[in-house]
Amino acid sequence: MNTNSRALAVSTVGYLCLALAGWMLSMGTASWFTQEFGVTLLYPLTFVLAVMGILSFVLGRGLDSIVFFAGATLFGTASAYEALLAAGKTPDPGSFLGWFAFLWAVFFCYIWAGSFKSGTSRMLFLLGAWLTMLALAIGCWTGVAGFLIIGGYLGLITSIFAVITSASEVFRLSATGNPNVETSGQVKPMAAD
């Protein structure tokens, strides 16, 4: 059984989900759209990220598993918070949200510090996640909208790094001579490995 090809496929889908969810949230934070757009997409992406986290853990991809579980938690929390705001619930003070973002920044900082041997695109993605959460924390603490907008643009850049990571996994998958990649002749289904 070739578990390496399955792990690469899981990483491809997981990082694509991170890119989509990050892009949807960051467009609102960067003031391209209001925050109400894109939030409904977070529910299915959060579920898929959680499944990819479980599959990554089973396949022995520890860093990807941590990143996918973190993304599922972060985006699930963000969608729940946006749903409360849409329902007219009183939002938490900005300083509380600043601490929430700061703790995520600390988390992404030490995950980034441990990712140096995992490839440049993963390392840049985690660096971007750390800087995004740090900018959002400073923006929430100070009330300066410029930091929130910077956090939004950093989130967009981070999403681009997630897409690059997803794409590099596809290229790496096809370069390994995986029997699931279409070439000439009969293509075997994934279960046939």
pLDDT over threshold 50, residue 183: no
CB of 133 closer than 8 Å to CB of 105? yes
Confidence of residue 29 (pLDDT cuts 50, 70, 90): confident
Average pLDDT over residues 120-131: 94
The two tokens of residue 51 are: 């499944």
Average pLDDT over residues 36-50: 79
Give the pLDDT confidence of 64-86 residue by residue, as tens digits.
999 999 999 998 888 888 777 77
Q: Where are the domains of the chain?
A: 3-176
pLDDT over threshold 60, residue 191: no
Phi-psi region of 93 (alpha: psi -120 to 50; beta: other; left: phi over 0): beta
Q: Pick the most confident of 33-47, 87-101, 119-133.
A: 119-133
Q: What is the mean pLDDT of the chain?
A: 82
The two tokens of residue 82 are: 């946006």
What is the C-alpha separation between 79 and 76, in angstroms, rounded? 5
C-alpha distances (whole Å) from 90 to each of 83, 133, 142, 187 are 12, 23, 20, 55
Phi-psi region of 38 (alpha: psi -120 to 50; beta: other; left: phi over 0): left
Q: How many CB atoms lie within 10 A of CB 93?
A: 9
pLDDT at 96 (0 to 100)? 82
Q: What is the pTM of this model?
A: 0.81
pLDDT over threshold 50, residue 62: yes
